[in-house]
Amino acid sequence: MKVQVEKLSPVEKKVTVEIEPAEVAKEIDRAYASLGRRVKLRGFRPGKAPRTVLERNFKDQVEADVVERLVNKSFAEATRDEKLDAVAAPRVQVGEGGIGPDRPFSYTARVEVKPVIEPKDYRGLTVTRKVVEVADATVEAELERIHQSFGEMIPVEGREVAEPGDWATIDYEGKVDGNGFDGGSAKGALVQAKDGSFFSGEMAALQGRKVGETFETEQTFPADFRDPAMAGKKAHFTITLQTLRSQKIPALDDAFAKEVGIDGVETIEALRARIRSDVEKREKHKAEGEERDALVKGALARNEFEVPAALVEHTIDAMVENTAQRLARQGVDIRQLDLDLGRIRGDMREQAILTVKAALLLEAIAREEKVEVSEQDEQDEIQRRADEMGVPPSRLQLKAEGREALRQRIREDKVIALLAAGANFQ
């Protein structure tokens, strides 16, 4: 087999392969022999049909199958021998003359490959480090949110007009451009009479309305609404106020702290301490993520390289799938939405390119620095994740694909730690 590799760009190669006639003839003979054992032809016993008869009836099919096998086998050998790090299936063009037992078989394949990256200047990055400080006001706000969530709804007595802060059950029907929409109507919905977004359960227009009253109002969908097709649009709603309720909030004392139901929390001060700890962990995790992004972007700014389009498209596919799964958990079927997937994919492209570049650069730095991932590293990470989820490590046993993703994440974390160790923090 003869192989010639031509560099078309840093991320694309043209591979020309020529296979000797003897190998082609052997593969054709093997194909007809296999076909003869399987095919049933009138007038011939199984396995006894002559080669000439098989060729007359199945020549095109056999040759197509042989071409596919020869290409798959030879291209795999060529990428291995030439050390081509392919990231997508090749685009193959068979040479003139096609295939025959008495002549060489040739084809060319254009294939996208990972770029060869020689990382530089990734030490000494200047990065701003965020100091995590949780203000007392933040703790109190979180405590109040939990406090309010334990409130009991009771009917309003002695009046029929909604006042600020009341909770109301309403029936509503909404239309956009004169047409109904998915989720645009409901009976017995619970909303609060206060400033805010109707789509978050808040509606100032209820204030001053009387039980049994029907009125109309316009509400604008938020820019980040779960259905992108509705984001920013105005909806016209017809609303009937059915009942008024108020919220009976328990006293903020030790009894309430116990009612929250957190192990080891018996007093209101212990609850405050637990909230502070949880908020600190959350903010620390957020700060670490921001620092990680800053280190990667700093290293990328010093290392320019192309990325394969196939990897970008694959990453966008994953982002779309993740979005669909998130919406599904919220009860929204993305297939039922009138979405402009082309525009959505376009909006995701910049982030996808950044994600691919980050992965390729971290991989190159790991190779340069000879960063290794040991079995103990794997077990430690599994144990950490198990502790975080509150499950035994045995519940997180991974298959080959998941294990490789875990090892890649550990390797990247080690590279990030290396970048952080050599960075100048402000």
99-121 residue pLDDT tens: 998 899 999 999 999 999 999 99
Report the distance separating Cα 324 and Cα 335, nearest Å.
9
Cα dist from 180 to 185, 199, 230, whole Å = 8, 16, 12
According to CATH, where is 3.30.70.1050 located in the chain? Answer: 2-112
Pick the CATH number of 2-112 from 3.30.70.1050, 3.30.365.10, 1.10.3080.10, 3.40.1190.20: 3.30.70.1050
- This prediction has a pTM of 0.74
Identify the DSSP state of 398: -
According to CATH, where is 3.10.50.40 located in the chain? Answer: 152-248
Residue among 290, 366, 298, 291 at smallest CA distance from 123:
298
Rg (CA), the chain: 32
Class of domain 152-248: alpha beta
Structure tokens at 41: 């032809």
**SS3 call for 239:** strand
Average of per-residue pLDDT across 193-215: 92
Beta-carbon count within 10 A of 250 CB: 12
Beta-carbon count within 10 A of 345 CB: 15
Does residue 336 register a pLDDT over 90? Answer: no
Q: Average pLDDT over the chain, rounded to whole?
A: 92
Average of per-residue pLDDT across 70-87: 95
φ, ψ for residue 13, nearest 5 deg: -125, 150
Q: What is the pLDDT of residues 370-419, one digit of tens each?
A: 999 999 999 999 998 888 888 888 888 778 778 898 999 999 999 999 99
Report the distance separating Cα 135 and Cα 139, nearest Å.
7
Q: Do the beta carbons of residue 216 and residue 238 sit within 8 Å?
A: yes
Structure tokens at 390: 């509150």
| pLDDT at res. 363 | 96
Cα dist from 400 to 82, 90, 179, 403, 419, whole Å = 26, 25, 50, 5, 29
Average of per-residue pLDDT across 323-342: 78
Confidence bin at 189 (pLDDT 50/70/90):
very high
Cα dist from 192 to 164, 212, 243, whole Å = 8, 16, 12
